[in-house]
Amino acid sequence: MTPTLRLFLLTALTMLAFAGNSLLNRAALAGDLIGPSGFAMIRVIAGAVVLALLVWRRDRRWADLAEVSWKSTGALALYVLGFSHAYIWLDAGIGALFLFGGVQITMFAGALIGGERPSPQRWAGAVLAFGGLVLLLAPSTNAPSLLGAGLMLAAAFGWGMYSLYGRQVKRPLQATAGNFLLAVPIALIVGWSVPDAMPATSPGVILAVLSGAVTSGLGYALWYTILPRLAATLAAVAQLTVPVIAAAGGALLLAEFPGFSFLIASVLVLGGVALSVWRKT
């Protein structure tokens, strides 16, 4: 397997994990299985436990905070909390659209400020992919809640900044574990300050644990591993596949159908990503 193919497959696996987070969170909240604060708290704790165990198994230490800062931890907490609360009002695919559309803007802006200069081809791919997302949103222009959209855009800013910080770490597993551990008290404080109106059920707790341990903890560790090998603008564009995956999963698993324009939007998004990665600059 060539390094390029390996990087592509690892990136694709990470995007599936990201889409899985949207589906798990939306399934838990839409089914009234757990509230958003409870989901966020359990998700962060489960991710911290799994990552700490992985670090202990490999390095015989719980976590190394040398590459963790209040900025990266705060960005992670903002993402997790905004994400969980936004899915009260947003379908899986639409929520992912807001999230990764905002992430693209954040990462592109951060890359430009940091001196990265995308090629015209990568710019064209980004515009094409983002246009697909706009089309995907068009059938539901009046449906999404402004509060839900605002919370998800805040989460997008947090995730975009977290991804930009991740491109600089040398030990991704250690850094991810440290960020999750320090995010636990933030999630607990917010959760206790904004209590849920509904009690947590066993299925809801299971979905939150899966989101934290598998699609978040392991998925984010993998993301931090491959981020240094991706240009920031390319990483931003690659994540635009997530809303398409989440929308398809929402239709199949949650009966949240995005409409007939979904197919056209998917072609535009995937075509834009393909255009961006066809030639590396």
Write out the residue range of the structural domain in which residue 163 sits: 3-277
Q: Residue 143 pLDDT more than 60?
A: no
User: What span, in angstroms and rounded, lies between the C-alpha atoms of 265 and 269?
Assistant: 6
Residue scoring higher pLDDT (137 or 188): 188
User: What span, in angstroms and rounded, lies between the C-alpha atoms of 150 and 132?
Assistant: 21
Roughly how many angstroms between the first and final C-alpha of the chain, as a whole number?
22
8-13 long-range Cβ contacts below 8 angstroms, 24+ apart: 8/277, 10/222, 10/225, 10/226, 11/226, 11/230, 11/238, 13/222
The closest of 15, 21, 40 to 214, measured between CA atoms, is 21
**Residue 281's pLDDT is what?**
45
**Residue 125's pLDDT is what?**
77
Q: What mean pLDDT is reported for the chain?
A: 84
Q: Residue 213 pLDDT more than 60?
A: yes
**Residue 74's pLDDT is what?**
95
Half-sphere exposure of 55 toward its Cβ, with a 13 Å CA cutoff? 24
Most confident of 44-58, 73-87, 253-267: 73-87
The closest of 93, 60, 46, 31 to 269, measured between CA atoms, is 93
Query: 37 near 80, Cβ under 8 Å?
Result: no
Query: 244 near 266, Cβ under 8 Å?
Result: yes
Segment 215-232, tens digit of pLDDT = 998 888 888 888 888 877
Segment 3-44, tens digit of pLDDT = 777 888 888 899 999 899 999 999 999 889 999 999 999 999
Residue scoring higher pLDDT (105 or 33): 33
Q: Residue 148 pLDDT more than 70?
A: yes
User: What span, in angstroms and rounded, lies between the C-alpha atoms of 141 and 151?
Assistant: 17
User: Alpha carbon 218 to chain centroid distance?
Assistant: 12
Residue scoring higher pLDDT (194 or 96): 194
Residues 230, 232, 53, CA angle at the centre, nearest 5°? 65
**Residue 138's pLDDT is what?**
64
**Residue 91's pLDDT is what?**
84
User: Alpha carbon 199 to chain centroid distance?
Assistant: 26
User: Alpha carbon 103 to chain centroid distance?
Assistant: 9
Query: How many domains, the chain?
Result: 1
